[in-house]
Amino acid sequence: RICFSGLLGLLLVLNAEARVGDSSQLEFCNETEQCLLFDLICKNSVYEVRHYDSVKWVTTNYTTFSMEFMMVPAFWKLYKYITGENEASQNIPMTAPVLMGIPEKSILRMDVFTMSFLLPAEYQMDPPKPTNDDVYIQETPAMNVYVIDYDSYMNTLSDSKYSKKLSKALDSAKVQYRKGSHFAAGYDSPKPKKKRHCEVWYVVEGDPVCDPVLQPFA
């Protein structure tokens, strides 16, 4: 087992406040000025483990069948919040990633999806209240996540392909993680670009594991 607990402890002390910062620190996050930063704990050939500090988002819930039905309406609700639908009538800069909470369910069942915009550093302490009741401020706790990334457009097909690849790798390594839902993180605007970057995150339970995954994954 690769274990960096001493190093991780040090990183946690150095980064006690929410880490939203300059996007130049992340090569795959270059469409916004600020991005969500993290500490890399370990990685293997399939996934990496990251530590994220507790951080605030503006979020909306949407009950539906699949992400295709909620991406546009949820995006617009959050976009309106950052362009003035808040009690301070503030214009708030866009950040990355846009994070979605994806329930893992049968395609025929409706369930709650979430979409969140990360609040920029200057709004982390005291974000203006949303004026739309469907939109709320959410604080995610400090957490470790298993991450796999891919470079195509995000949709149900790509998201479930890579969430399955990641969960298969975690299951075969007998790793503990929160099941039943995952996060989908998008870093790109919809406009065409050479190299897109999307991610699937599972929340780590217990100690993060980065043993080499021995089975080949197609």
The interface with ligand NAG within residues 164-193 (CB under 6 A) comprises: none
- Tell me if 30 contacts ligand NAG by CB under 6 A: yes
Q: Do 120 and 34 contact (CB within 8 A), yes or no?
A: yes
In Å, how far are 140, 142, 149, 209 from 145, measured between CA atoms?
Answer: 12, 10, 13, 11
Query: Does 112 sit near ligand NAG (CB under 6 A)?
Result: yes
Structure-token pair, residue 195 = 């190299």
Q: Contact at 8 Å (CB) between 68 and 171? A: no
CB atoms within 10 A of CB 203: 18
Contact between 156 and ligand NAG per CB under 6 A: no
150 binds ligand NAG (CB under 6 A): no
Contact status, residue 74 vs residue 99, Cβ threshold 8 Å: no
Nearest approach in angstroms of CB 121 to ligand NAG is 21
Among residues 18, 23, 28, 146, the one that binds ligand NAG under rule CB under 6 A:
28
136 binds ligand NAG (CB under 6 A): yes
Q: Which of 109, 174, 191, 194 lies at the binding interface for ligand NAG (CB under 6 A)? A: 194
Chain position carrying tokens 């994806």? 102
Binds ligand NAG (CB under 6 A): choice among 72, 195, 212, 215: 195
Report the interface residues with ligand NAG, using CB under 6 A. 27-28, 30, 61, 101, 112, 114, 136, 194-195
